C-alpha cells in the first residue's frame, strides 16, 4: 500500500514499487508512450514525481548495460506496472532497477484524474508515503522547493572530448545528455565540458569557437550568478542555448521568463519553424517559457509551439546567439539546429580572419 498526496489535499491510494521510501517533489506528467528509460537518464527531471499518461509502463524492461545512468527524478507514477517485461534486450524489470537506484514509485492510481487535475490547476508539489499522510505533512508540501538542482546534476570537473575537429566548442553542463555531446562530435567539434558555475574568464582563457548552454532542471530565474557569467560571453563567441540554456540566454539578454501551467513533457510536441513554415515533432521537458514581448527589438522568434502558441526559439539581433526550448538531439528531424550552429561558428570564424 502507498499514497500520493498533493498540496491541495487530494489523496490517491495505490501500490508501492521500487525503493520503498517516502519522497517529496513536483508532480508533473509525461505524454510519451515509450521512452521511460531515456527519461530515467535525463537530469532535467531532477526533483520531480513523474506521472505517465500512457497506462502500461515497464513492458520492455530495462536495457541498460553495465554502465547504468544515475536516475535524478524522485519517483514514477503509473497506472499499471509490468512485472514481467517481454523484450529480448531486457536485462532486468523496471521495479528492480528502481530499487537499485533508490527511487520509489506508485502504481494503480487513476493517472487520468491526476493529469486532468494538473492540467486544470497547474504543477503541484506532492509526496509519496507508505502510510496515510497527516494533515501537517500535506500542509508542509506548500513550502517545498527544489533547491540548487544544477549543483546536483552538473559535472564537477572540466573534461574534454576530442574528435580532431577544426572547431572547438565549450559546453556548459547544466544537466546535459550524452546525446548532446554526440551531436557535436559528429559535426567535427572538439568539445570541452565545463561545470555550471565556471567563470566566463576561464572559458575565454581556454579559448573556443562556440559555446553551447545545455538543458537542465529547475527555475532559470534562480541562477543569477550563472546568468551574470553568460552576459560576459555574449558577443564574444557564437552561443547556442538548449532548454534551460535557452532560457538562461534569454535572461542574460534582459528578457523575462514565465511559468507554464502544466509544462511540456514528452516527445510528441509540434513546433513550427517560422523561417520555413515546417512543423516538427519535438521532444521537450520544461515548465518555463521565454516571454517574447520582453525581448522585442532584441530577438526574433524562430519557433512556436503549435499547441499553445508559446515561444520555442529565439535568435538574437545584435549578437551571434540563438536558442531553442525543445531538445534537438532527441529526434533526427530537429538535429538541423546543430547544423545551424555549425554554420554560425563558421561565419563568425571567417569574419575574424
Chain center to CA of 99? 23
Q: Which pLDDT belongs to residue 107?
A: 98
Residues 6+ away with beta carbon under 8 Å from 76: 18, 36, 49, 50, 52, 57, 94, 98, 103, 105, 106
Residue where the block lists cell 513536483: 26
Q: In what order do the strands lie in the sheet with 239-242?
A: 159-161, 189-194, 167-172, 210-213, 239-242, 321-324, 311-316, 299-305, 256-273, 279-291
For residue range 280-331, list pLDDT tens digits in order: 999 999 999 999 999 999 999 999 999 999 999 999 999 999 999 999 997 7
Tell me the three cell numbers of residue 63. Answer: 536495457
Distance CA 22, CA 285 (A): 25
Distance CA 42, CA 242 (A): 14
Q: What are phi and psi of 202, to 5 degrees?
A: -65, -40
239, β-bridge pairs: 211, 321
126, β-bridge pairs: 6, 25
Say which CATH class 150-352 falls into: alpha beta
Residue where the block lists cell 509525461: 30
Chain center to CA of 201? 27
Q: How do strand 80-81 and strand 56-57 relate by DSSP bridges?
A: parallel
So where are the chain's domains? 2-146, 150-352
**Residue 336 half-sphere exposure, CB side, CA atoms within 13 Å?**
7
Q: Which pLDDT belongs to residue 353?
A: 67
Residues of the chain short of pLDDT 50, as ranges, are: none
Distance CA 192, CA 160 (A): 4
Query: Which one of 3.20.20.70, 3.20.20.80, 3.50.30.20, 1.10.3720.10 gives the CATH number of domain 2-146?
Result: 3.50.30.20
Q: Which pLDDT belongs to residue 259?
A: 95
Greatest Cα pair distance, the chain, in angstroms, is 68
Amino acid at each position: 500500500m502507498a499514497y500520493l498526496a498533493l498540496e491541495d489535499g487530494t489523496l490517491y491510494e495505490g501500490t508501492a514499487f521500487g525503493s520503498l521510501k517516502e519522497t517529496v517533489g513536483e508532480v508533473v506528467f509525461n505524454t510519451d508512450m515509450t521512452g521511460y528509460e531515456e527519461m530515467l537518464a535525463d537530469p532535467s527531471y531532477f526533483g520531480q514525481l513523474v506521472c505517465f499518461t500512457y497506462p502500461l509502463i515497464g513492458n520492455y524492461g530495462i536495457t541498460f548495460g553495465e554502465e547504468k545512468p544515475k536516475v535524478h527524478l524522485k519517483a514514477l507514477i503509473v497506472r499499471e506496472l509490468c512485472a514481467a517485461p517481454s523484450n529480448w534486450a531486457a536485462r532486468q524489470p523496471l521495479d528492480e532497477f528502481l530499487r537499485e537506484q533508490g527511487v520509489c514509485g506508485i502504481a494503480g492510481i487513476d493517472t487520468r484524474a491526476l493529469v486532468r487535475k494538473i492540467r486544470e490547476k497547474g504543477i503541484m508539489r506532492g509526496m509519496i508515503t507508505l502510510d496515510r499522510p497527516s494533515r501537517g505533512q500535506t500542509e508542509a508540501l506548500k513550502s517545498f522547493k527544489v533547491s540548487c538542482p544544477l549543483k546536483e546534476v552538473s559535472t564537477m570537473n572540466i573534461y574534454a572530448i576530442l574528435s580532431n575537429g577544426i572547431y572547438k566548442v565549450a559546453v556548459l553542463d547544466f544537466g546535459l545528455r550524452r546525446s548532446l555531446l554526440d551531436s557535436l562530435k559528429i559535426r567535427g567539434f572538439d568539445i570541452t565540458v565545463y561545470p555550471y558555475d565556471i567563470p566566463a574568464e576561464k572559458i575565454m582563457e581556454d579559448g573556443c569557437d562556440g559555446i553551447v548552454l545545455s538543458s537542465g532542471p529547475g527555475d532559470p530565474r534562480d541562477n543569477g550568478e550563472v546568468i551574470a557569467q553568460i552576459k560576459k560571453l555574449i558577443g564574444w563567441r557564437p552561443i547556442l542555448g538548449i532548454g534551460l540554456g535557452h532560457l538562461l540566454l534569454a535572461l542574460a539578454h534582459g528578457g523575462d521568463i514565465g511559468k507554464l501551467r502544466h509544462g511540456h513533457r514528452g516527445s510528441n510536441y509540434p513546433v513550427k519553424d517560422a523561417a520555413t513554415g515546417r512543423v516538427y515533432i519535438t521532444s521537450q521537458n520544461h515548465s518555463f517559457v521565454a516571454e517574447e514581448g520582453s525581448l522585442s527589438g532584441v530577438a526574433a522568434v524562430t519557433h512556436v509551439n503549435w499547441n499553445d502558441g508559446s515561444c520555442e526559439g529565439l535568435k538574437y539581433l545584435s549578437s551571434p546567439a540563438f536558442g531553442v526550448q525543445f531538445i534537438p538531439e532527441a529526434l533526427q528531424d530537429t538535429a538541423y539546429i546543430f547544423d545551424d550552429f555549425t554554420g554560425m561558428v563558421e561565419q563568425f570564424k571567417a569574419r575574424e580572419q
